[in-house]
């Protein structure tokens, strides 16, 4: 049903889809692909026993290193580095006082569940360390920045090993500073020197072997500082809408658009049925989704990533807000 909706929306859907519902099935599908002579472009590091380096577009070691929150200083010019330090688990309690504001991130070369790696603490709140602190041995402790403007700079590295700019997006964050979606189209660009640094960072990654899409999170603070926040060397929720719109409505790329994620404890069929009137009205595109009922995950949840687009930025924002309100977000 989800694939049918993607096709109906005009998106190209793969013709060699290989289904799996758990870890064992995933390993079998990768083995089949490698056996067919295909090369794997992994977005998260996988064991070399599953995919040998020579069968990878980019090695697991490289992908893990580039996405480790502790290695950002390796690629970022000192002018744009936020103050951060690596803290072992044994020193975590002392390094995270309740009376100070700070940001905690996972520090690992391994895949660890994507969005589990950021925890923001405001001075005076009760400290409730996240689940990833029970799984890992090291963490990145970062200063809490008071942000004026927040961007996701979308770039890519092609087979020619040259870094290129895809687009600049703005990041929408909630009251706690957590990313909830992006703004696309006519957004206010970052200062030239910050944008140049984003290209330079991506080229440094290209020079050590990276190929593919990446999204670099950066910001301007209330006191005028420019800082790189995160380096995401993988396909992200910032790049997917851009690629989808380029496929379906390239003429709309320069117009206003906003992304939104809907996650509900209901079957995918019910979620799509609820969205059918809005989809039929136009200006709304399903870009990706996931239904845990098709996996061995015990949590039952349907998730959709959507892009709201149009000609009037206020109308786009209103329709995106209505979707969030409808599904209790």
Question: What are 265-291's pLDDT values in tens digits?
Answer: 988 999 999 999 999 999 999 999 999
For residue 242, the model assigns a pLDDT of 93
Mean pLDDT, the chain, integer = 91
Question: What token pair was written down for 203?
Answer: 């080229």
For residues 72 and 95, what is the distance between their CA atoms, to the nearest angstrom? 20
127 CB contacts (<8 Å, ≥6 apart)?
96, 98, 121
Q: Provide the 8-state DSSP code for 15.
A: S
pLDDT at 113 over 60: no
For residue 176, the model assigns a pLDDT of 64
Tell me the CA distances in angstroms from 122 to 76, 144, 217, 291, one per residue in order: 26, 8, 21, 34
Triad 242, 303, 279: Cα angle to 5°: 60
How many CA atoms lie less than 13 Å away from 125 in the CB half-sphere?
Answer: 13
For residues 114 and 174, what is the distance between their CA atoms, to the nearest angstrom? 19
Sign of the CA dihedral running 40, 44, 48, 50: negative
From 96, 93, 86, select the one nearest 144 (Cα to Cα). 96
Residue with the two structure tokens 């103050």: 83
The helix/strand/coil state of 139 is strand
Q: Provide the 8-state DSSP code for 76.
A: S
For residues 220 and 198, what is the distance between their CA atoms, to the nearest angstrom? 14
Distance, CA of 59 to chain centre: 20
The helix/strand/coil state of 13 is coil
Confidence of residue 1 (pLDDT cuts 50, 70, 90): confident
Burial of 177 (0-12, 13-18, 19+ CB in 10 A): middle
pLDDT at 327 over 50: yes
Torsion angles phi and psi, residue 25, rounded to 5: -65, -35
For residue 134, the model assigns a pLDDT of 86
Query: With left for phi above 0 and alpha for psi between -120 and 50, is residue 319 left, alpha or beta?
Result: alpha
- 176-225: pLDDT as tens digits: 667 788 999 999 999 999 999 999 999 999 999 999 999 999 999 999 99
For residue 114, the model assigns a pLDDT of 44
Q: Could you tell me how many residues make up the chain?
A: 329
Confidence of residue 329 (pLDDT cuts 50, 70, 90): low
Question: What token pair was written down for 226?
Answer: 């420019």
The helix/strand/coil state of 64 is helix
Q: Over range 78-101, report the average pLDDT.
A: 95
For residues 152 and 160, what is the distance between their CA atoms, to the nearest angstrom? 24
Q: Over range 14-27, report the average pLDDT.
A: 89
Query: pTM value?
Result: 0.91
For residues 121 and 119, what is the distance between their CA atoms, to the nearest angstrom? 7
């Amino acid at each position: 049903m989800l694939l049918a909706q993607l096709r109906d929306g005009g998106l190209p859907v793969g013709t060699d889809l290989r289904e799996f519902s758990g870890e064992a099935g995933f390993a079998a599908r990768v083995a089949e692909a490698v056996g067919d002579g295909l090369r794997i472009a992994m977005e998260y590091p996988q064991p070399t026993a599953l995919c040998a380096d020579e069968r990878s577009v980019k090695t697991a070691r490289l992908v893990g290193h580039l996405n480790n929150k502790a290695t950002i200083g390796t690629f970022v010019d000192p002018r744009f580095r936020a103050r951060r330090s690596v803290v072992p688990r044994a020193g975590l309690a002392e390094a995270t006082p309740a009376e100070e504001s700070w940001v905690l991130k996972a520090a690992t070369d391994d895949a660890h569940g994507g969005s589990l790696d950021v925890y923001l603490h405001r001075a005076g709140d009760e400290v409730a360390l996240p689940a990833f602190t029970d799984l890992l041995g090291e963490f990145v402790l970062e200063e809490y920045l008071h942000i004026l403007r927040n961007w996701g700079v979308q770039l890519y590295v092609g087979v020619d090993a040259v870094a290129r700019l895809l687009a600049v997006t703005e990041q929408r964050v909630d009251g706690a500073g957590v990313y909830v979606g992006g703004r696309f189209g006519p957004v206010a660009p970052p200062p030239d020197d910050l944008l140049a640094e984003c290209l330079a960072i991506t080229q440094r990654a290209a020079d050590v072997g990276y190929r593919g899409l990446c999204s670099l999170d950066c910001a301007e603070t209330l006191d005028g500082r420019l800082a790189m926040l995160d380096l995401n060397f993988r396909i992200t929720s910032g790049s997917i809408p851009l690629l989808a719109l380029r496929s379906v409505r390239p003429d709309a790329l320069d117009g206003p658009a906003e992304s939104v994620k809907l996650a509900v404890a209901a079957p995918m069929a019910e979620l799509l049925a609820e969205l059918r009137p809005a989809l039929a009205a136009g200006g709304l595109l399903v870009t990706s989704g996931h239904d845990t009922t098709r996996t061995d995950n015990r949590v039952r949840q349907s998730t959709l990533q959507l892009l709201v687009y149009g000609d009037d930025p206020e109308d786009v924002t209103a329709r995106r807000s209505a979707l969030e309100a409808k599904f209790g977000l």
